[in-house]
Amino acid sequence: MHDKHSEYPFKTTSSKGAKYGKQNKGSIFEARAEFAGWGAGNVTLLCSSVQKALFEEEDHVKKLQQKVATLEKRNRQLRERVKKVKRSLRQARKKGRHLELANQKLSEKLAVGALPHINAPGPVRAPYLRG
């Protein structure tokens, strides 16, 4: 058996190639397929179906990545919206407390009599006389 793969099919070309597992001829898959005695047609068919599966998987991954990106963007938008709503709520509560305090002070002044009731008669004045 002295063809293009006369030695062990996974032989590397250099020490660098050995370190990274590179081969001198063909791919690992082709070498293994030939070593197993498969014909070239079987290898081509198997390679194309594996490639198809890989492409389909890559497409699926891309779609998932797009969905993740879309969901992350929407999540950021919703977080910003929640921040704004919380801020508005804090401001509304603060204004409510301020108005309640002002209302309480006015009630106290009315109770003490510091301010006359709006319908209470004012002081009686002497008619204006010309002299």
**Would you give the distance in Å from CA 130 to the centre of its chain?**
84
pLDDT on residue 47: 80
pLDDT on residue 89: 97
Task: Break the chain into its structural domains and give their ranges.
Answer: 1-38, 55-111
User: How many Cβ atoms are within 10 Å of 96's Cβ, its own excluded?
Assistant: 10
**Would you give the distance in Å from CA 81 to the centre of its chain?**
14
Q: Are 107 and 117 in contact (CB under 8 A)?
A: no
CA 8, 9, 14, 19 torsion-angle sign: negative
Whether this model's pTM surpasses 0.75? no
The per-residue pLDDT string of the chain (131 residues; one tens digit each, 9 = 90 and over) reads 445 544 444 444 444 444 445 544 456 666 666 666 666 666 676 788 888 899 999 999 999 999 999 999 999 999 999 999 999 999 999 999 999 999 999 888 888 765 556 676 666 666 666 65
Amino acid letter for position 36: A
